[in-house]
Amino acid sequence: MALLMKETNKTPKEGIMEEKRMATAYVSGVLTCEGPLAQLEGRDERSEKTLLLKHRTDSYVVQKRAWVEGTGEEDKGHFETVEGEYMVANILAPSSNTLRAKIRDLLSSDISLKVGALGPKTLFFMCGGGGGFDEKASKGATIQLVRNIREKNVVAGLLGGSIGGAIIPGKVVVGIPVLYCRDLVNYLPRGVRGKDGTEMPTDPAALPEAWNFLDKKQYTRHDDFNIPEVAEMLNEAGRDMLAKEEYSKGGKEEGKKKDVKRQAIYTIEAVAAGAQYWSHFFLRKPLDRELGGFLKALKLFSKDPYIGGLSSKGFGEISLAYDVVVNYTDGSYGKGRVLVNTDRAKGFEVREDGDGVIASAMDSYEKWLGSVTAESIDVDNL
């Protein structure tokens, strides 16, 4: 039977028992890179013709490991830990901020599709967190303003933001994804289930080195104007433009033909397909509809489960296998499990929801969505 939860923090009247409310919700499990992942943050100019685009990393303090040369062809060498010595390791990882932004964008889109067009301030608050507007005439950072916005807008309650001089704290903590690798075993919890339901390994001997997950791919951007069949499709104005580009202008160089570079060779760093990360979210005192909105965002994400860049080249597809544990104020708890794109068919599946905590939360969000209007979430009306 679905658990009933109260969507208010009002003190119960004397003699009436208060219905239990959520104290916390913990959504955790495994993020799997179903294809290579490219979240590029920097660049390394090796030469004029070769550009290296570097993948983002997260830093960890780990036990120092030194390379020991092998004894022959069959033993090429290995790493050994150095007792008592530590180092900072930069490990390839997807950004936790990307996951947070995905949830915000998907929920904002879901609400906007229901209520229709929104004003610029409200839309910017929904999608970007607010700020950036002239707030001299605003109501100021009053407690009541914060309460009104959080009560009437699921996005505000979950993810917070800033509007009218008020900082609205969100309820969702997005954990940094931790790579399942030998270097980070001390950062990985025990008992986490993978997408097939089996427990993820945490024995260092069963995990690869972090550097094994670094994949480098080289691409070439060709100058198609050098292909006769393409050049023939140019009109006269286009041919004149290209001709002018090929000659320098001004000074002694006037009239001298120059090489116009439209071709480039570049290399990208990527996380290899198959890499798995421990991924987790923590929700503080969520209302039933807020947890439901969070889970609805995961369902919407399953239809387009890509993060990072180069998705047009097949990069960025991920799957998520999360356990959902809800702790209530009366000491009881409910739990379930959601699978996002684990079938590689853009599917969303709810499993093990015997007490109905997931169904109840998602139904509460849909009921709220059915009643919300553009006017009720317009920040200028609050």
Domain boundaries, the chain: 21-61+84-222+263-382, 223-262
With a cut of 90, say whether residue 177 has pLDDT above it: yes
DSSP 264: E
With a cut of 80, say whether residue 257 has pLDDT above it: no
With a cut of 90, say whether residue 227 has pLDDT above it: no
pLDDT of residue 200: 96
Tally of residues, the chain: 382
Q: Which residues 6+ apart lie within 8 Å of 356 measured at CB?
A: 1, 2, 3, 334
- Residue 55 pLDDT grade (very low, low, confident, very high; cuts 50, 70, 90): confident
> Beta 264-271 vs 276-284: how paired, if at all?
unpaired
Residue, of 355 and 290, whose pLDDT is higher: 290
Average pLDDT, the chain: 81
pLDDT of residue 324: 96
Lowest mean pLDDT among 28-32, 88-92, 265-269: 265-269
Q: Give the span between the Cα atoms of 119 and 203, in whole angstroms.
A: 53
pLDDT of residue 364: 94
pLDDT of residue 164: 61
pLDDT of residue 261: 58
With a cut of 70, say whether residue 335 has pLDDT above it: yes
pLDDT of residue 136: 41
Q: What average pLDDT does this structure show over 130-152?
A: 61
Tokens of 268: 């990208």
With a cut of 50, say whether residue 249 has pLDDT above it: no
Q: Of the candidates 186, 201, 169, 172, which has an alpha carbon nearest to the alpha carbon of residue 30? A: 201
Report yes or no: 37 and 270 within 8 Å, Cβ to Cβ: yes
Q: What average pLDDT does this structure show over 41-66?
A: 78
Q: Give the span between the Cα atoms of 129 and 326, in whole angstroms.
A: 26
Lowest mean pLDDT among 71-80, 193-202, 292-301: 71-80
**0.85 surpassed by pTM:** no
pLDDT of residue 191: 94
With a cut of 50, say whether residue 43 has pLDDT above it: yes
pLDDT of residue 131: 53
Q: Of the candidates 157, 178, 177, which has an alpha carbon nearest to the alpha carbon of residue 169? A: 157
Q: What average pLDDT does this structure show over 232-236?
A: 75
Report yes or no: 301 and 102 within 8 Å, Cβ to Cβ: yes
pLDDT of residue 1: 35
- Residue 13 pLDDT grade (very low, low, confident, very high; cuts 50, 70, 90): very low
pLDDT of residue 251: 42
Q: Give the span between the Cα atoms of 134 and 7, in whole angstroms.
A: 33
Residue, of 265 and 183, whose pLDDT is higher: 183
